[in-house]
Amino acid sequence: MNKTVLITGGTGLIGMPLTKALLAKGYSVHHLSRSKSSGIEGVKTFEWNIQEDRIDPACLENVGAIIHLAGEGIGSRPWTNRQKKEIIESRTKSIKLIYGLMREMTDHRVEAVISASGVGYYGNRADEILTEDSFPGGDFLAHTCVEWEEVVDEAEELGPRIVKLRTGIVLSEKGGALAKMDAPIKAGLGAPLGSGKQWMPWIHLDDIVALYLHALENEQLEGTYNASSPDIKTNEDFTKSIAKVLNKPLFLPAVPPFALRLLLGEMCALVLNSTRTSSDKIQGTGFNFIFEKLEDALKTIYERKTAG
């Protein structure tokens, strides 16, 4: 495979360390971005404007694989109709723009498309163990993931191998969901959310980066994979683990679901949905998680944060 990788959303939480890991392994990296530069030395940045259907065709020059990470933050703003459209189209119209270019270039060299997806695909499923063959949920997040994956699959007719990683909450010292989850605990006001029994799939940032490399370099990977650690926890146990690692007390009663619904509206699905994903399929491909245990992942994150 040609060793130039085009990353969409390469400036984000996953994209930045993935870019650095690819460069360290001798790949050339192209970014497709809304900005002129990603600020990473050695990366060629190409601009696109998804709403205006504008894309720099040079982005595909010599590209052997595409990694599709671009997408409006799921939890960054309230889910108005306009925001929902942005969440979906930033993931679907974007990759369609690239596929449009590939159709025009009869000699494109893209052999693999590896795309993010989310465990939100499954919706709210209590204690059911969810494999990649489980049917999707019916809420907004599930609908988003179904549409995202369907559009990514449109590359089938263009030839490349397609991999979709249904990603759990990415844990990192560099931001993301953990910073929101641990803030009340650090303030001594931590409490489980809702029943606390909802399952929360998670993956350490180092593992999701390693997983993208694994998917890129192992041609036997094809189709969908749950990208979450085997040590899946309920919200209550997750909250207790954070408090234990931070050495903080947990004494408040759980926040009732109605309060979260009132506060977050439909977005409460992000904290109340129960998604008990299985990691068997990805482990069966020979992928070994660096962080299998939640407490080990959290300890490393807070140690790195303290070390700066």
Ligand X SMILES: NC(=O)c1ccc[n+]([C@@H]2O[C@H](COP(=O)([O-])OP(=O)(O)OC[C@H]3O[C@@H](n4cnc5c(N)ncnc54)[C@H](OP(=O)(O)O)[C@@H]3O)[C@@H](O)[C@H]2O)c1
57 vs 256 by CB, closer to ligand X: 57
Which helix (DSSP H) or strand (DSSP E) does residue 200 occupy?
Answer: strand 199-200
SS3 234: strand
* Options 167, 234, 235, 241; binder of ligand X; rule CB under 6 A: 167
For residue 238, how many C-alpha atoms fall within 13 Å in the half-sphere facing its CB?
Answer: 25
Considering only residues 223-262, where is the footprint of ligand X by CB under 6 A?
A: none
Which helix (DSSP H) or strand (DSSP E) does residue 207 occupy?
Answer: helix 205-217
Q: Does 6 bind ligand X (CB under 6 A)?
A: no
120 vs 192 by CB, closer to ligand X: 120
Nearest to 242 by CA among 188, 197, 166: 188
CB of 69 to ligand X, least distance (A): 4
CB of 176 to ligand X, least distance (A): 5
109 vs 174 by CB, closer to ligand X: 174
End-to-end CA distance of the chain, in Å? 37
Q: Does 177 bind ligand X (CB under 6 A)?
A: yes
* Options 7, 13, 63, 243; binder of ligand X; rule CB under 6 A: 13
Q: Does 176 bind ligand X (CB under 6 A)?
A: yes
Nearest to 165 by CA among 213, 236, 98: 213
Q: Does 64 bind ligand X (CB under 6 A)?
A: no
Candidate segments 21-29, 124-132, 167-175, 212-220, binder of ligand X by CB under 6 A = 167-175
* Options 5, 7, 11, 239; binder of ligand X; rule CB under 6 A: 11
SS3 5: strand
Nearest to 275 by CA among 84, 117, 121: 121
Candidate segments 122-130, 162-170, 235-243, 298-306, binder of ligand X by CB under 6 A = 162-170
Q: How many CB atoms lie within 10 A of CB 305?
A: 13
Q: Does 78 bind ligand X (CB under 6 A)?
A: no
- One-letter amino acid at 185 equals I
Measured CA distances, 110 to 36, 56, 59, 107, 202 (Å): 24, 16, 12, 9, 30
CB of 264 to ligand X, least distance (A): 17
Q: Does 14 bind ligand X (CB under 6 A)?
A: yes
Q: Does 70 bind ligand X (CB under 6 A)?
A: yes
- Please answer whether residues 229 and 289 qualify as being in contact, where contact means their C-beta atoms are separated by less than 8 angstroms: yes
Residue ranges that bind ligand X, judged by CB under 6 A: 9, 11-15, 33-35, 50, 69-74, 86, 90, 94, 116, 118, 167, 169-170, 176-177
